[in-house]
């Protein structure tokens, strides 16, 4: 029988959970952009602040990874998961920034649905991260996130159809399309996180 006398650094699980909690907060703040009379400059600033927090968690994960001898699972997978979680927040922050910088008053059809899907995916991700410790009960998570991503694809296509329906001038189409595409990218990034979790679970099972 092989014994391992070197302790495994389990702080990575806490860092993943912290990143996912930041995504929940980011999605909540993003939803604030839809509220009538909302201060979109302030909302974008708050999303940006959460993005900075997420960056700090990612940097801490990498620093710990570089100084830890024994990790709970494959180093490359830890790096990939940390980066993928950070990418989601980057995408959401970019969408909020576009709304603010372009001074968009009326968001196009489909955006509320996209943001709602982001909120659901964020909640699922936050609930899944603590379960990495046991590598159990995760299959429902990645299946549901994949389903949400498929729904997001449909919403995205309908949004593009609405944008190119002739109801908007060319410049407005370009601006609104940036927002819609960035939200779609965020939904895709959530699916990437779920796919990485699935790969980790399969390797560790």
If one counts the domains in the chain, the total is 1
Residue at 58 is within a domain: yes
Q: What is the CATH number of the domain that holds 56?
A: 1.20.58.220
Residue at 3 is within a domain: no
Segment 33-74, tens digit of pLDDT? 888 778 888 989 999 999 999 999 999 999 998 888 888 888
pLDDT at 114 over 70: yes
Residue at 182 is within a domain: yes
Residue at 170 is within a domain: yes
How high is the pLDDT of residue 68?
82
The SS3 assignment for 69 reads coil
Which has more pLDDT, 197 or 9? 197
34 DSSP assignment: G
| Rounded-to-integer distance, Cα 133 and Cα 57, Å | 18
- Structural domain for 78, as ranges: 11-204
| Rounded-to-integer distance, Cα 74 and Cα 82, Å | 13
Residue at 6 is within a domain: no
The tokens for 96 are 């909020």
Segment 144-197, tens digit of pLDDT? 999 999 999 999 999 999 999 998 999 999 999 999 999 999 999 999 999 999
Segment 18-44, tens digit of pLDDT? 999 999 999 999 998 888 778 888 989
Residue at 4 is within a domain: no
- Long-range contacts formed by 139-146: CB under 8 A, 24+ apart: 139/198, 139/201, 141/194, 141/197, 142/194, 142/195, 142/197, 142/198, 145/121, 145/190, 145/191, 145/193, 145/194, 146/191, 146/194
pLDDT at 1 over 60: no
pLDDT class of 84 with cuts at 50, 70, 90: very high
């Amino acid at each position: 029988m092989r014994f391992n006398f070197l302790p495994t650094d389990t702080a990575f699980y806490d860092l993943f959970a912290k990143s996912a909690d930041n995504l929940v907060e980011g999605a909540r703040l993003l939803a604030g952009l839809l509220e009538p009379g909302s201060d979109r400059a302030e909302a974008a600033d708050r999303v940006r602040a959460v993005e900075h927090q997420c960056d700090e968690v990612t940097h801490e994960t990498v620093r710990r990874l570089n100084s830890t001898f024994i990790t709970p699972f494959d180093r490359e997978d830890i790096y990939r998961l940390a980066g993928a979680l950070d990418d989601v927040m980057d995408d959401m922050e970019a969408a909020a920034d576009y709304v603010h910088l372009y001074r968009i008053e009326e968001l196009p059809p489909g955006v509320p649905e996209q943001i709602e899907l982001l909120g659901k995916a964020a909640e699922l991700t936050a609930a899944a991260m603590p379960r990495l410790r046991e590598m159990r009960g995760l299959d429902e998570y990645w299946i549901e996130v994949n389903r949400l991503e498929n729904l997001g694809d449909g919403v995205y296509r309908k949004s593009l159809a609405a944008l190119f329906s002739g109801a908007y001038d060319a410049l407005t189409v370009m601006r609104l399309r940036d927002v819609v595409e960035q939200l779609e990218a965020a939904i895709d990034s959530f699916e990437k996180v779920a796919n990485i979790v699935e790969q980790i679970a399969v390797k560790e099972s």
